[in-house]
C-alpha cells in the first residue's frame, strides 16, 4: 500500500482524539474500518504508531514522528490546492458531465446519491455491464470517465494500458439462503454444509467461478453447476429454495432471504475504481474516491449481517492507487 495524504489525516485524527472510537466519529468512518486502516498504515510505515491502554491511545516514538510530519504536510498541501484553484479560476474542477460505468452493483446508486448532493449541477450518465474488461476498454477509448468493478480475490484489475486503479474495499463473500433453510439462523456456515446445494451468482468475466470451484474442492466436494444470472433471477431462486446465491457481504436483507457469512472466508471480492489520468482532473478524481468510500460505508452500515460480522472481525477497507 502506498502512503497517501488521507492516511496522514487518519493518523493525526487518532492522535488528536486520543482514541479510535472518538477518531472514527470525527472522520465519519466505522470503527472496525478505521482500525483495519490503521493496521495497514502501520504495516506500510514499519511499526506501531500508537499504544493502547485503558485511557485510549498514545503515540509511539514512530507515531510522534509521523504526526509531526503530517501536521506540516497537510496544511501545505491544502494551501497548494487552494492557490492552484484560485490560479485556475476553477473552485472545484467539477466537469460539466460525468459518465459512470459499473459492474460492482452495490455502490453505483450510493455514488450517484453522493454526486447529486455534492455536485447538483453535474450531469451524470451511467452504463452497466457484467464485463469489467468491457468497462475498462470504454474508459481507455474515452467513452466512460470513472468505473466501479469487482475483482475476485487477489486478481488484478483489467490490464488496460494507461488506466489508473484505486482499491475501494476488500470484502468477504456471503451466501444468500431462504429464511427456512436449516442454516439460515447460523452465525456462519461451513461451505461443506452446502455441498448438496444448487448455486447461483451474478455473471462476470473474471476468475470467480474457478475460485469458487477451488474453494469447494478444499472443503471436500465438487459443487453443482454455478448458474450465472441477473440479480432478480438470483433472488427468485433463493426465495423458492432452488439455489444458494453467492453475494457481496453488503447485501441488504429482505423478507424471506438471509445473508450468512461463510466460515473461514474462503472467497473474497474486491471493489476497485478505474479512470484514465487524461480524462478527469486529479482533484475531482480524489473527490470521487471520497464519494465512493462514503457510499461503501453507507452500504456496510445498512447491512446488519455484515455489520455484525465486522464487529467480530477486522474491517475490510483497503485503498491505494496503481497504474496498469
83: CB partners within 8 A, 6+ apart: none
Mark whether 151 and 290 lie in a shared domain. yes
CATH classification of the domain holding 16:
1.10.10.10
- Confidence label for 307 from pLDDT (cuts 50, 70 and 90): confident
Tell how strand 56-59 and strand 50-53 pair up: antiparallel
Cα 137 to Cα 99: distance, rounded to the nearest angstrom: 14
CATH classification of the domain holding 245:
3.40.190.10
225: CB partners within 8 A, 6+ apart: 198, 199
Cα 78 off chain centre by: 26
Mark whether 293 and 243 lie in a shared domain. no
Q: From 267, 297, 315, give the residue that closes a domain.
A: 267
What whole-number percentage of the chain has pLDDT above 70? 91
User: Pick from 51, 42, 48, 45: which is nearest to 19 by CA?
Assistant: 51
Mark whether 254 and 177 lie in a shared domain. yes
Mark whether 70 and 24 lie in a shared domain. yes
Work out the average pLDDT over 117-126.
91
Number of domains in the chain: 3
2: CB partners within 8 A, 6+ apart: 44, 320, 321
Mark whether 208 and 222 lie in a shared domain. yes
Q: From 24, 54, 88, give the residue that closes a domain.
A: 88
Mark whether 160 and 274 lie in a shared domain. yes
Mark whether 216 and 250 lie in a shared domain. yes
Work out the average pLDDT over 28-33.
83
Q: Give the pLDDT score at 162.
A: 86
Q: From 88, 118, 150, give the residue that closes a domain.
A: 88
Mark whether 263 and 179 lie in a shared domain. yes
Q: Give the pLDDT score at 118.
A: 87
Mark whether 218 and 279 lie in a shared domain. no
Inter-residue contact 172 to 247 (CB < 8 Å): no
The model's pTM is: 0.68
- Confidence label for 62 from pLDDT (cuts 50, 70 and 90): very high
- Confidence label for 3 from pLDDT (cuts 50, 70 and 90): confident
What one-character-per-residue DSSP string does 80-100 give?
Answer: HHHHHHHHHT-SS---SEEEE
What pairs with residue 200 in β-bridges?
227, 245
| Each residue's pLDDT tens digit, 243-270 | 999 998 888 778 899 999 999 999 999 9
Mark whether 10 and 61 lie in a shared domain. yes
Mark whether 263 and 275 lie in a shared domain. no
Q: Report which secondary-structure segment, H or E, holds 230.
A: none
Domain of 165 in residue numbering reads as: 97-170+269-323
Mark whether 284 and 296 lie in a shared domain. yes
What pairs with residue 53 in β-bridges?
56
Amino acid at each position: 500500500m502506498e502512503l497517501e495524504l488521507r492516511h496522514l489525516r487518519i493518523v493525526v485524527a487518532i492522535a488528536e482524539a486520543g482514541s479510535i472510537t472518538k477518531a472514527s466519529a470525527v472522520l465519519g468512518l466505522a470503527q472496525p474500518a478505521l482500525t483495519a486502516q490503521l493496521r495497514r498504515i502501520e504495516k506500510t510505515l514499519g511499526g506501531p504508531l500508537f499504544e493502547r491502554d485503558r485511557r485510549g491511545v498514545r503515540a509511539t516514538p514512530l507515531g510522534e514522528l509521523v504526526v509531526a510530519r503530517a501536521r506540516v504536510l497537510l496544511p501545505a498541501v491544502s494551501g497548494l490546492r487552494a492557490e492552484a484553484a484560485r490560479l485556475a479560476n476553477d473552485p472545484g474542477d467539477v466537469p460539466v458531465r460525468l459518465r459512470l460505468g459499473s459492474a460492482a452493483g452495490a455502490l453505483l446508486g450510493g455514488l450517484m446519491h453522493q454526486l447529486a448532493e455534492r455536485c447538483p449541477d453535474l450531469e451524470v450518465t451511467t452504463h452497466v455491464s457484467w464485463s469489467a474488461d468491457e468497462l475498462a476498454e470504454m474508459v481507455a477509448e474515452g467513452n466512460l470517465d470513472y468505473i466501479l468493478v469487482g475483482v475476485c480475490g487477489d486478481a488484478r484489475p483489467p490490464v488496460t494500458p494507461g488506466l489508473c486503479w484505486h482499491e475501494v474495499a476488500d470484502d468477504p463473500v456471503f451466501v444468500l439462503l431462504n429464511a427456512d433453510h436449516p442454516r439460515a439462523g447460523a452465525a456462519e456456515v461451513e461451505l461443506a454444509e452446502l455441498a448438496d446445494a444448487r448455486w447461483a451468482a451474478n455473471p462476470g468475466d473474471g476468475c470467480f467461478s474457478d475460485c469458487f470451484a477451488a474453494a469447494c474442492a478444499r472443503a471436500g466436494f465438487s459443487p453443482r453447476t454455478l448458474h450465472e444470472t441477473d440479480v432478480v433471477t438470483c433472488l427468485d431462486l433463493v426465495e423458492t429454495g432452488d439455489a444458494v446465491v453467492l453475494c457481496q457481504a453488503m447485501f441488504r436483507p429482505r423478507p424471506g432471504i438471509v445473508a450468512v457469512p461463510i466460515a473461514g472466508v474462503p472467497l473474497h471480492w474486491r471493489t476497485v475504481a478505474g479512470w484514465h489520468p487524461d480524462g478527469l482532473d486529479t482533484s475531482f478524481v480524489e473527490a470521487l474516491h471520497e464519494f465512493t468510500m462514503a457510499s461503501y460505508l453507507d452500504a456496510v452500515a445498512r447491512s446488519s449481517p455484515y455489520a455484525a460480522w465486522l464487529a467480530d472481525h477486522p474491517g475490510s477497507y483497503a485503498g491505494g492507487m496503481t497504474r496498469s
